[in-house]
Structure 1
Amino acid sequence: MEPQKINKGDRNKIYFLVIVIAALIGTNAYLFFKDRKQSERFVTVSAEKDKLRLEVEKIEVELDKVNALNLDLNDKLVEEQKLARVKIEELKASLEKAQITQVELDKANKQINELKTFVKSYNEQIIQLQKDNLFLKNSRDSLQNTLKNISNKASNLENENSSLNAKVKTAAVLKLQSAEIIAFRTKSSGKKVEVTRSSTAEKLSVRFTVIPNEIAEKGHHNIYLRVFDPAGNLLADEGNRFEADGQEMQYSHSIFINYNNDNSTYVIDWANPKPFIKGIYTVILYADGNTMGKAQVELR
């Protein structure tokens, strides 16, 4: 049997089918690799966007840490942080877009690197600010301690001075060295005669000396007398008042003496506004607001 011959027309059809099949296979292969490449590209872009978002969040966290320190930032640092946060919001918005080009990704990456550099410099400034604040605090505390010590020393000195002044004032007080009282009457001739009987006594004469005192003020000193009768009654006028030993008192009589620390003897005569009675009369002397001493005399 002889092989069947294929005519020219059939041969051309076969060639055409082969070409079509080859074209289909090529097209499918092209589309397959194209889809695969686009899929890989999508995955790469998505991963890069996530990475950039994370970097932006890290930068924002660093700025939040600064605010948590509650530092008193100067105007320059405040303004720089505001600008950085504006840039962060812009980047966030850019990275949230569904479609983003490589150019946009590269731009975002560049801006993030700039922000990283800024945050590093910003943190260095904050650290320096903390050091400066600590130095100022330590200096202030040291100054306060110094002022407190000075104040304490001044207060101690003031107390010491007050105490010393009080001691000097106490030491400068005039005190009686000796004192005696006699009763007397005056004759018609003017001569004073000492008496011991209450019925004949007219006045009391107080004769006294002062203990030598180098630091006592020289010159005039007002001497006050308080005279008590045998019954303990003060013999004084209501209007005669002075202050001594921290309280106001009535006095019977007062005079000035000229004190010169020279062992002088001073005499004060006092007339009783009432008749003398039998018993012991007591006289207390005061000078410069302090008690000098006392003396007594007994009348029969």
Structure 2
Amino acid sequence: MTPKKRRSILIVALLALTLFLTIYSLQKSNQYNNLQEVFEQEKADLEKELDEMIKDYTDVIVRKKRLSTRLRVEIVKMNNLRDSIKNLQIDKYSLIRKYRKKISSLERENRNLFVKVDSLSTANQVLSQENIITNEILLQKESINTSLTEKNIELEEKQKTLETKIAIGGVIKTSTLKVETLKERSSGKLTSTSRSNRTDAFKVNFDLLKNVVAYAGEKSVYIQIIDKNKNVIAPKGITNLKDGGKIQYSDSIEINYNNDRLSLVSLILVNRDDINKGEYTVSAFVDGVYSGATTVNLK
């Protein structure tokens, strides 16, 4: 074979090899581009799925604050997985299947967790409704108790008013007190006098008036004589009054009161040396209550 012919054959072979390599390179380039498109689509799909799952979890956290801790942990896992997928290079294309399995596992966990969330939500709604009913019952009871308390207070006030009226109506009043000052003669007989230096006794006459409201029974009547200086004349003792006060009395009489008019006489002997000129006040107290008074002047 001539050199010229061999050169021609070599050129043809080189051209064929070049054409083959060009076609092969184009095929590989197309396959790579196709693979790159598939890879990017796979990544985008996985990221989209994770974004939707993260959104679902975030919505549940907003509505179910009590479960937020558990759900936030799951969101952190999904965010980490999404970042891993986003940074995945094509030479790690084989990991796409692994990540898809992880996402499927998360989806199953999602379903189980959301079922629990719904169950808890339903239970909370039932409890909330029961609480509303319980609160309504308690409010009704409170309203009834308040009404009863107000009625009791009203009844107590009426009772006190009635007791006050009865107490006032039950006071035993006296007629006008009549006072006579007496001197003792040598015969022992007592005769009227208006002179202070001859007074040996005070004679007090009055009636307990009729009162059907007052309680009948044993009563104590006290007579008090005081001079112009508020000194008690011929003091016999001290007694308590119903208003909380105390008096020193000059005479006491125990009687049996049966609600009818009753006449009383008190004779109080005094030392004429203790009797001075001036005005004397004679007061009567019946059953611990002031009933009346009168005055007498001595020369």
Aligned to 1:204: 202
User: Are residues 1:97 and 2:84 paired?
Assistant: yes
CA distance in structure 2 between the aligned counterparts of 1:233 and 1:23, rounded to whole angstroms: 143
How far off its partner does 1:212 sit?
A: 0.7
Amino acid at match of 1:97: S
RMSD: 3.7
Residue of structure 1 in register with 2:267 after alignment: 269
Contact 1:176 1:293 in 2 (8 A): yes
Which moved further from structure 2: 33-42 or 278-287?
278-287
Q: Percent identity?
A: 20
Aligned to 2:177: 179
The equivalent of 1:58 in structure 2 is 59
AA matched with 1:115: L
CA contact (8 A) 1:183 1:205 kept: yes
Q: What does the per-residue CA deviation read over 1:149-182, in whole Å, with 9 as the maximum and x for residues that have no partner?
A: 3222222222222222222112111110343223
Q: CA deviation at 1:102?
A: 1.3
Say whether the 8 Å CA contact 1:56–1:92 is kept in structure 2. no
Partner of 1:43: 44
2:13, 2:40 → 1: CA distance?
A: 39
1:254 maps to 2:255: no
Alignment coverage as a number of residue pairs: 281
**What stretches of structure 2 of length at least 5 have no aligned partner?**
89-97
Q: CA deviation at 1:34?
A: 1.9
The alpha-carbon distance between structure 1 residues 105 and 25, as it changes in their structure 2 partners (threshold 3 A), is same
Q: Deviations over 1:10-51 (max 9, x none)?
A: 798489545555444333332232222222222222222222
Bigger CA drift: 260-269 or 278-287?
278-287
Q: Identify, as 1 or 2, the structure richer in helix.
A: 2
Q: Displacement, 1:255?
A: 2.5
**Structure 1 spans left out of the alignment, 5+ residues:** 68-79
Distance 1:111 1:299 in 2: 115
Give the Å deviation of 1:270.
0.5
Q: 1:232 to 1:11 in 2, by over 3 A?
A: closer
Using the size of structure 2 for normalisation, the TM-score is 0.75
Q: Does 1:107 align with 2:94?
A: no
Q: 1:152 aligns with which of 150, 153, 157?
A: 150
Name the residue aligned to 1:287: 286
1: CA distance between counterparts of 2:201 and 2:236?
Answer: 21
Cα distance change of structure 1 residues 154 and 116 upon mapping to structure 2, 3 Å threshold: same
Structure 1 counterpart of 2:292, one-letter code: G
Name the residue aligned to 1:162.
160
